[in-house]
Amino acid sequence: MPVTDPPVRERDPQVGPDDIVIVALDAQRREVAWIRVTDPRLIRSEQPGPGGTLTGQRLYRNDVEFLVRVPDGVNAVELAVYQPQRTGEQNTLRPLGTIAPVR
């Protein structure tokens, strides 16, 4: 289904450890748009420990499905998916894979 909305621009994008970044690339592999979304693989679990104190853990599913809206005017031929990783004072993006947008 065609999407005619323009891409949403964040004023001060903050990429965190619970996010993934999806970059839309054109035929020349230039970045034409990007979006930050909460990692759909992430599951948070909290359970009481031996003393009754809640302890949390983060689990990741191996197989997930999610939708990404790519506006028509962007002309994306590929979507690159990245996971942020903290390296010292800054985040780096670790590639997770690429997919072709479905139109």
- Domain chopping of the chain, boundaries: 19-99
pTM for this entry? 0.76
Residue 89: partners with Cβ closer than 8 Å, 6 or more residues away: none
SS (H, E, C) the chain: CCCCCCCCCCCCCCCCCCEEEEEEECCCCCEEEEEEEECCCEEEEEEECCCCCEEEEEEECCCCCCCCCCCHHHCCCEEEEEEEEEECCEEEEEEEEEECCCC
| pLDDT per position as a tens digit, 6-41 | 666 677 778 888 899 999 999 999 999 888 899 999
Closest residue by Cα to residue 68 from 93, 42, 101, 26: 101
| pLDDT per position as a tens digit, 48-88 | 888 888 888 889 999 988 888 887 778 889 999 999 988 88
The separation between CA 12 and the C-alpha centre of its own chain, rounded to angstroms, equals 16
Half-sphere exposure of 90 (CA within 13 A, CB side): 3
